[in-house]
Structure 1
Amino acid sequence: MSTTGIDARPPSSIELDRRAFRRQQTTRSTLIAIVSTVVFAVAAWIFVINTPGWSRVQQTFLNWDVAVAAFPRVIEGFWLNVRVLIYSVIGVGIVSLVLATVRTLRGPIWFPLRALAAGYTDLFRGIPLIIVLYLVGYGIPGLGVFPRMPAEFWGTIALVTVYSAYVSEVFRAGIEAVHPSQRLAARSLGLSYSQSMRRVILPQAVRKVTPALMNDFVALQKDVGLISVLGAVDAVRAAQIETAAYFNFTPYVVAGLLFFLLALPMIRFTDWYTARVRRREQMGSIV
């Protein structure tokens, strides 16, 4: 017997009233949020511009002429940050996956590798990034073993070294969050350990930890600016040069805005994806 007629029935008047009420509440909440935000922003702006030192701060940090003059050099250095970010993301993804996989290996024969991976993650999660930048950027070239490389190369190595320790733990948490029955089912189908890990476990693990990975990516977007301590003329170093030239801090504000604009799309996408995952996991539980 076909249920098309039942499925095609229009919603009841009670359901229509509920939908109308929800739309009304959503519209009301949106309007209240907009009005309260505008009021707060106007109040904050009035407070700031009426402070005694506002004119001096405006001239020192928000000078439009200096911003226009410094922008070409700052944006040129910013593209270096973008290149370092791209290479760092690729390197972190590869190294962290290897570390996470090694730490999930079973059997006593793999204990030395597990201990080495655990020591690596403990060490580089405990050392500040700026110290690792100095150690890698000045210590390794000082050995005289490697050919002369630009500062951004060693900065990328330091970023990959530190962030791989953090991201590998995120991947490991995702792998261990996959139910053991998934692994057993894959092995019962004849898949080897590596095949079951690649085709069954890792896809589920990555899906579980995607919001955390996105947050680490946002943090990495900001920390690429630290390669300036090695002498690389990136956006931060270029802003420092322009600040010294104009005796004005506005170039730093320009560099900060560029980093903000780089991170903003990923921040918004991370919030959207996290909310989407939460709604999917809580589907049917919200009254």
Structure 2
Amino acid sequence: MTTRTNTALCGLAFCFCLILPSASRAVSLQVKNTTAHPGDSITVRISVDQPAEIAAAIFALSYNTDHFLLSSVDSSFFGTFAEQWQSMNPVPDPLPPAEVQVDGVTYTSPVVYKLFDGRVQLAGTRVQAGQTATALFDLHFTVAENVPDGIYPLFIAPISMNNESCGYSTGSEPLPLLTGEEEAILQVSLTSGTILVQNSAGPDTDQDGIDDLWEKQVFGDLTTAGASTDYDHDGYTDLQEYLNQFAGETDPAGNPFNPKEENAPGGMGYKKIVITPVLWLLLGK
């Protein structure tokens, strides 16, 4: 790791992560599954299910750096310094600086990322918790042209520090993945993700119009999804969500299609769900 990046990570970690642990409910930290063709530009999203308590995040994402080339990282969750000052109540007067300099590099956002040892290290902080958005980081990749068909894993792992100048011991000291505003190290449950790469549609042994590899990536079997099923009951069949994913479509809210999460209505292939009285009874309403 370069001295510059090490210093930036140290600053974020020391200010927001070097705190005493206290009890807290577990937060699910998840890498979303993604599909792609060789040569595609793709986005891998890292999200949480309980964003309100999170004030800082610092961890690494491991992936195949030969097949997937990282171009940038975005985070509307952490935003810019200027956005954070304006979101405070009351708004500081005068406003704190909208940028900081570390080793001659100017940062307008409290987000740092760095490729190191076959993975990307990510860190971000907030002055105040209370966010409602669930997406922590969006990582933008280009898929290499020669990537073989297959399912490629994405794993989150802690970052360890051993820099005494940042206040850490000489031994390797793992940093908490997520930190709360009130000096709480948040308990975290991790869910890894995958990138499914295919040059063309693969086998469809159950003849439901959905590629077998995609079904196994998303559901783990070939029986859960079919041409007419709608796993998340959002008005898009699982077949339509598969087709939308591979076409690079997003829903009207700008979110990628995911058969396990509700997408906004009105997108490609959407069919409004009509709840009849009989269905209400079956649902126990």
TM-score bracket relative to the smaller structure: under 0.3
> What's the TM-score once normalised by structure 1's chain length?
0.20
1 or 2, which has the higher helix percentage?
1
> What's the TM-score once normalised by structure 2's chain length?
0.20
1 or 2, which has the higher strand percentage?
2
**Structure possessing the higher radius of gyration over alpha carbons:** 1
Bigger relative contact order, structure 1 or 2, given CA contacts below 8 A and separation 6+?
1
